[in-house]
Amino acid sequence: MEDARDMKRRPEDLTLSQLRRLARHWPAGGLDTLSRDALLEYVRAAQRLEAAPLSELRALGKTRQIKGAGRLEAGQLLPRLLQVQCWSLMNLVDLRGLARGRGIEGVAALEKGDLVGRLLQTDKAKEVPLRVRPPGERSLPALAGGVRQRLSGLGWRKGFGLAVQVAGGLGTALCLGGLVLLPLLAVRAAAAVPDSLASLAEAARGLQEPVELAGGSLGEASAALDAVGEMLLGAEGSLGTIEPLLRSIGELVGEDTPEAIDAARGALTSAEAGAEAIDATLRTLSYVSFITGVSYDPEQSLQDALAEVNAGLEPLPDDLREIQADLDAAAEDLEPMRTSAAEVAGHLDDLAASLEALEEYVLGQSAALDDLAASAARAAERAPVWVWTVAAVAEPLVVAAGLEQIAIVVVGGQIRPGGQGTKGAAYRC
């Protein structure tokens, strides 16, 4: 009854005495010397062997160097395989003592595998009485336990090895795809990048003209304000004849100069649209600066700079028209004119200085556009060389990665049961 209960329980749940009692279902010489862990491994191996087909038992017998294994039946092979398994689980001291009892010489110099092989060659090893039930008499619990042990021992290796092989196969496919696509992408990039850089250079040169026009208009407005300031200072000492002069100055300040400023703002507004496209292209190319050679990261973009200049010019026409109104009022009343003329002249000097500074900034942006066009043209000439250099460096790296993936596939095959990695030591079931 206890034996039947032991057969139904998992071997790892049994105590040492219960394992010894269960191991007696597969008797072998030396079982009493085994530790609990060794007994547990022996019982698991016995269950696997009992559930194995005859072809597998014969193949295992040949691996264990059992004479005539290819001709023996299961009832003859199983006792011998179990005896070999028991010997392989015994500690070296007990195994050497058993070998000395069999009359084997030079025991102290032999290792476990050699000792088991020598024991198989002795007559006494063949005469060990073994009482094992033939396969036809196997109990259903023992058969189920053997199948369960076989699945639990090999299932994880099969699944894990398959997963490793699938991952390696996918990696190999990706590397092969990279080897095919890399030259195609290099051809496309070698043609597209120079075209983009050439378009950028052309756009920069096209934007220079409206920027230079805006700078010229600002210079004209600054010169006009300087002239008006000088006229006001001269008029301060000639109040008797200043009224018609003030009217003329008012027209120059309130009409001619605002028109020049409006013209400059119109040119700047036209330039802003082109500057936005150039800024976007430069920022895109700067992301792949290792290929294009273009590095663009200004503190203020060209579009924002032109917009800032345009915004700075916006209030000037109204200010000048206010000055015209002041001049007209001064013409009506010449008495306070001397004081007002000096103040207006100072204000005009400040405005002229501001316009002059804006003119210098805009002309500086024009020079920057010229440098940008030259840099883009040079980068367009070098771009194909950079693209093919990158492709030539990347190709061996992709090949190396592909070889690594193939190695992973091979390792996965060795992990799976039946692969090269599963053909282990000669004396383990």
Q: Each residue of 123-155: pLDDT tens digit?
A: 443 433 334 444 444 444 444 444 444 444 455
Judge whether residue 330 has pLDDT over 60: yes
Number of residues assigned to the chain = 429
% of the chain surpassing 70 pLDDT: 85
Q: How many CA atoms lie within 13 A of 406 on its CB side?
A: 8
Confidence of residue 190 (pLDDT cuts 50, 70, 90): confident
Q: Is 90 left (phi over 0), alpha (psi -120 to 50) or beta?
A: beta
Can you tell me the mean pLDDT for 171-186?
Answer: 91
In this structure, of 105-109, 164-168, 296-300, the range with the lowest mean pLDDT score is 296-300
Q: How confident is the model at residue 8, as a pLDDT?
A: 64
What CA–CA distance (Å, rounded) separates 187 from 286? 20
Average per-residue pLDDT for the chain: 79
What CA–CA distance (Å, rounded) separates 80 from 92? 20
Q: Are 382 and 301 in contact (CB under 8 A)?
A: no
What CA–CA distance (Å, rounded) separates 119 from 103? 10
User: Position 325: which residue type?
Assistant: A
In this structure, of 41-45, 224-228, 246-250, 288-292, the range with the lowest mean pLDDT score is 288-292
Can you tell me the mean pLDDT for 57-69?
Answer: 86
Can you tell me the mean pLDDT for 348-370?
Answer: 85
Q: Is the pTM of this model over 0.85?
A: no
Q: Each residue of 366-379: pLDDT tens digit?
A: 888 888 888 888 88
Q: Are 148 and 407 in contact (CB under 8 A)?
A: no
Q: Each residue of 74-100: pLDDT tens digit?
A: 888 888 899 888 888 988 888 888 888
